[in-house]
A and B are shown apart, each in its own frame.
Chain A
Amino acid sequence: MPHSFEKPAFTAALREAASEGSLSWEAEQRLGRSLSLPPRDLEGAALEAGLKLERYARNYRTIDVEGQLRLHRSRVLVAGCGGLGGYLVEELARLGVGNLVVVDPDTFEASNLNRQLLSSLTELGKPKVEAARARVRAINPAVLVEAEVLRLDATNAEALLAGATSAEGVDCAADALDSIPDRLMLEIACAATKVPLVHAAIAGPYVQATTILPGTGSLARLFGKDSPPKGIETELGNPAYTPAIAASIEVSEIVRILLGKPPALAGILFHLDLERMESVRLPLG
């Protein structure tokens, strides 16, 4: 918020522009222009003043204004911006999670088009994380994206989780990676920085998901000790519907964590078979 503007006066202006405790999208844009405030600051100030925002009107039955403010102040690391990562970015931005750190070294290829939400003909050859940044700007300008064109390794993962590029660390990390060694590396980095990790992996019609709270659990057990670097997805392929549902499972879990609710999959393996439409919820003990 600009220093030149007194907060009480600012809050009063917001309340005046609101109707029945809710700020319409038009009013939000008008205020932003007249006060020269970026959308992110305006949203934060409105939520702090206890106002609902029209753009989150359909969130409120599930997430109240206080929860929406928590999401606005949250920071999530999206590790990988392919099949899972694209949907993660989309849903987190629409929900209003205020800060996304999106990491992926790759550019889009034609073989991504069958499932990766952010891929399109015009994006071929371009960095995936840049597409994420552009997409979020088009959906929700109150969400800031740090787009990192890099391959996560033990050193940079810890730095990103602990907040090397910003004042604060992330509140939660989402595993959207595509190799088992990278996932195990991310788990170790999350444990070292005490960040909860929400994991999902897909192969053909199968989804597995679990949440690893700092200091608990081990992905190594899930993958088995003699797993090749890539799982059975190399044999089964990845149709469009599997990453979409896997990412949605992750996002529902991330929202619980960000809102301070107990995660549903801590110490639990959730396995979904979309071929037979069967699921198992397996306590890992």
Chain B
Amino acid sequence: MQMHAGVGVRQHDGSLGMVPAGASFFAFEDAKGMDRAVRTLSLMANGMRLEILYMLIEGDRSVSELVTGSGGSFSAVSQQLKLLTLGGLLDRRRDGRNIYYKLKDAGVSAILKLVEGLGEE
């Protein structure tokens, strides 16, 4: 995703105004930071991937543990693991015949725990 100067933004009267070039209302310093955030959040926005991520908060899991735990088919879980790994949320290691996955960033655990409690009193 690219950041452009002059992005459309909703004004008080409801019209779409333009942000003057050079102004920034984003929290990200550059397009890469924005990409990272979009990537992380879009990967989280899926039931099966969230289940996998929550299972990994506790620690490393093998593919077969993740398949059993998520109730998904082997192929569905491996597709999701591929996306999560490509998106930089998971690390993958091979140990003999098994492949293990773990959360790459403690920040992801923090987001997951926060999301879990959303809306609760």
- How far in angstroms is the closest Cβ of chain B from A146? 35
Inter-chain contact count A-B, CB under 8 Å? 42
- How far in angstroms is the closest Cβ of chain A from B63? 13
The B contact surface, by secondary structure, is: helix
Q: Check B75 against A236 for contact (C-beta < 8 Å).
A: yes
Size range of the chain A interface in the assembly: 20 to 34
Stretch touching chain A among B9-17, B32-40, B51-59, B106-114 = B32-40
- How far in angstroms is the closest Cβ of chain B from A216? 14
Q: Check B75 against A269 for contact (C-beta < 8 Å).
A: no
Q: Check B75 against A235 for contact (C-beta < 8 Å).
A: yes
Contacts of B87 in A (CB 8 A): 282
Across the interface, B38 reaches (CB within 8 A) one of A206, A224, A269, A283, namely A283
Q: Check B35 against A275 for contact (C-beta < 8 Å).
A: no
Q: Check A285 against B83 for contact (C-beta < 8 Å).
A: no
Given contacts A269-B86, A278-B46, A285 and B39 within 8 Å (CB-CB): yes
| A284 contacts partner chain B, Cβ-Cβ < 8 Å | yes
- How far in angstroms is the closest Cβ of chain B from A181? 19
Closest to B34 in A: A283
| B70 contacts partner chain A, Cβ-Cβ < 8 Å | no
Contacts of B21 in A (CB 8 A): none
Taking CB atoms and an 8 Å cut-off, the chain A residues in 244-285 that contact chain B are 269, 271, 273, 275-276, 278, 280-285
Across the interface, A285 reaches (CB within 8 A) one of B36, B42, B43, B82, namely B36
Size range of the chain B interface in the assembly: 20 to 34
Given contacts A221-B86, A222-B86, A271-B83, A282 and B42 within 8 Å (CB-CB): yes
Across the interface, B86 reaches (CB within 8 A) one of A275, A276, A278, A282, namely A282
Q: Check A280 against B42 for contact (C-beta < 8 Å).
A: yes
Q: Check B79 against A273 for contact (C-beta < 8 Å).
A: yes
Query: How many Å lie between the Cα of A275 and that of B36 in the bound state?
Result: 27
| B78 contacts partner chain A, Cβ-Cβ < 8 Å | yes
Contacts of B88 in A (CB 8 A): 285
Q: Check A282 against B43 for contact (C-beta < 8 Å).
A: yes
Across the interface, B83 reaches (CB within 8 A) one of A204, A221, A226, A282, namely A282
Q: Check A280 against B83 for contact (C-beta < 8 Å).
A: yes
Taking CB atoms and an 8 Å cut-off, the chain A residues in 183-225 that contact chain B are 203-204, 206, 221-222, 224
Query: Can you report 29 A-B residue pairs in the complex whose CB atoms are below 8 A from each other?
Result: A203-B75, A204-B75, A206-B79, A221-B86, A226-B94, A232-B75, A232-B78, A235-B75, A236-B75, A269-B86, A271-B79, A271-B83, A273-B76, A275-B76, A278-B46, A280-B46, A281-B42, A282-B39, A282-B42, A282-B43, A282-B83, A282-B87, A283-B35, A283-B38, A283-B39, A284-B86, A285-B32, A285-B39, A285-B88
Interface residues of chain A, those whose CB is within 8 Å of chain B, are 203-204, 206, 221-222, 224, 226, 232, 235-236, 269, 271, 273, 275-276, 278, 280-285
